[in-house]
């Protein structure tokens, strides 16, 4: 291949790189930032209607370090509330990290929004779509849209692009005991665990099962089995003995084995028990203890 032809091929390769989707995205980001306005950080206040209330301290710290090194990559969105003062619509986490990083001003997009409902909608949509909210925060926000802003499930469904059943499931989580809600917010159990526990009416039993989920690291399926056993028991004898026995047996085996134990019930009602021992000697000592 001639040098001239090689240069043409290399030239086309360079053009392809410069016109790549990543580069176009980079240019778009630069354009968006250039269209933003630097605002004094002391003139910005948080939105009291912000759906997100649970800010992870470690996430804020990591973002603060990033901002110190690179600055603000994506401007926050604000609205003007009076002369020289602004309120955050979205980007409170970036705002908090920027203050912690010692920035005096940050880039902002200014939205002409006057209605509190519209602000809440914008904040909600951004956070939900970016999966920044925990399930309880999402449920609380949906409930607030219903109670304070007279929106129905269908309206919220169109607003956030979620089906009606999904929205209803988030709202139902708010019926859980506050301790269990805190567990979901802190990531100790999932929304699936919470949805299973909602079917337990007895608050004390609900908390007992919650503690078992945490101590035995029960899966959602195992939790559903406990709840199902409880419902069968209620139908047959009006009590929750089956679930209580399930919990009691697990606790006693864990105390005996000095190890986590998992009980699993199949569709026929047969129960299997599994645990892990450090070595064969530990298993042998347990067998000796049982024989005595």
Dump the DSSP string for 91-118: -HHHHHHHHHHT-SEEEEEE-----HHH
Q: For residue 219, tell me if it sits in a domain.
A: yes
Q: Is the pLDDT of residue 140 over 60?
A: yes
Select from 190, 249, 257 the least CA-distant residue to 223.
Answer: 190
Q: How confident is the model at residue 237, as a pLDDT?
A: 46
What the block records as the tokens of 231 is 């419902």
Q: For residue 130, tell me if it sits in a domain.
A: no
Give me the number of domains the chain comprises. Answer: 2
Q: What is the pLDDT of residues 189-238, one digit of tens each?
A: 999 999 999 998 888 888 989 988 988 888 898 898 888 877 665 544 44
Select from 89, 108, 114 the least CA-distant residue to 41.
Answer: 108
Q: How confident is the model at residue 238, as a pLDDT?
A: 42
Which residue in the list 92, 143, 258, 268 is annotated as catalytic?
92
Whether the CB-CB separation of 199 and 229 falls below 8 Å is answered with no
224 as an active site residue: the answer is: no
CA distance 257 to 275: 8
* Lowest-confidence segment of 2-6, 108-112, 163-167, 206-210 by average pLDDT: 2-6
Q: How confident is the model at residue 125, as a pLDDT?
A: 64
* Residue 8's pLDDT band (cuts 50, 70, 90): very low
Q: For residue 116, tell me if it sits in a domain.
A: no
CA distance 55 to 49: 15
Q: For residue 171, tell me if it sits in a domain.
A: no
Q: For residue 12, tell me if it sits in a domain.
A: yes
Select from 73, 80, 123 the least CA-distant residue to 98.
Answer: 73
Q: What is the pLDDT of residues 46-105, one digit of tens each?
A: 877 666 666 778 878 888 998 888 888 888 888 888 778 998 888 888 899 999 999 999
Q: For residue 190, tell me if it sits in a domain.
A: no
- Percentage of the chain surpassing pLDDT 70? 72
Give strand pairing partners of 274: 262
pTM of the model: 0.54
Distance in Å from the first CA to the final CA of the chain: 87
Domain hosting residue 1, numbered range: 1-35
Count the neighbouring beta carbons within 10 Å of the beta carbon of residue 253: 17
What sign results for the dihedral spanned by CA atoms 198, 201, 207, 211? Answer: negative
Q: For residue 279, tell me if it sits in a domain.
A: yes
* Residue 151's pLDDT band (cuts 50, 70, 90): confident
Q: To which residue do tokens 């569709």 refer?
A: 267
Backbone phi and psi for residue 151, each to the nearest 5 degrees, phi listed first: -90, 145
Backbone phi and psi for residue 55, each to the nearest 5 degrees, phi listed first: -100, 120
Q: Is the pLDDT of residue 2 over 50?
A: no
Q: How confident is the model at residue 25, as a pLDDT?
A: 46
Q: For residue 159, tell me if it sits in a domain.
A: no
């Amino acid at each position: 291949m001639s040098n001239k032809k090689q240069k043409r091929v290399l030239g086309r390769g360079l053009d392809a790189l410069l016109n790549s989707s990543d580069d176009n995205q980079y240019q778009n980001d630069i354009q968006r930032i250039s269209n933003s306005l630097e605002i004094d950080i002391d003139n910005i206040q948080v939105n009291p209607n912000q759906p997100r209330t649970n800010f992870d301290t470690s996430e804020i710290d990591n973002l603060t370090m990033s901002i110190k090194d690179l600055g603000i990559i994506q401007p926050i969105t604000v609205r003007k509330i009076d002369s020289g003062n602004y309120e955050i619509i979205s980007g409170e986490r970036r705002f908090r990290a920027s203050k912690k990083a010692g920035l005096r001003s940050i880039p902002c997009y200014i939205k002409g929004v006057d209605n509190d409902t519209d602000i809440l909608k914008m904040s909600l949509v951004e956070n939900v779509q970016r999966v920044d909210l925990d399930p309880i925060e999402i449920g609380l926000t949906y409930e607030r849209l219903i109670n304070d802003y007279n929106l129905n499930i269908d309206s919220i469904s169109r607003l956030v692009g979620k089906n009606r059943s999904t929205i209803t499931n988030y709202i139902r989580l708010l019926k859980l005991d506050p301790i269990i809600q805190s567990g979901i917010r802190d990531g100790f159990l999932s929304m699936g665990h919470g949805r299973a526990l909602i079917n337990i009416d007895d608050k004390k039993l609900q908390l007992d099962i919650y503690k078992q989920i945490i101590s035995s690291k029960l899966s959602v399926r195992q939790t559903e089995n406990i709840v199902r056993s409880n419902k069968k028991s209620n139908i047959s004898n009006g009590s929750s003995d089956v679930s209580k026995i399930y919990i009691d047996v697990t606790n006693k085996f864990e105390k005996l084995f000095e190890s986590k134990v998992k009980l699993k019930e199949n569709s026929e009602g047969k129960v299997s028990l599994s645990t892990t021992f450090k070595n064969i000697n530990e298993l042998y000592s347990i067998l000796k203890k049982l024989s005595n």
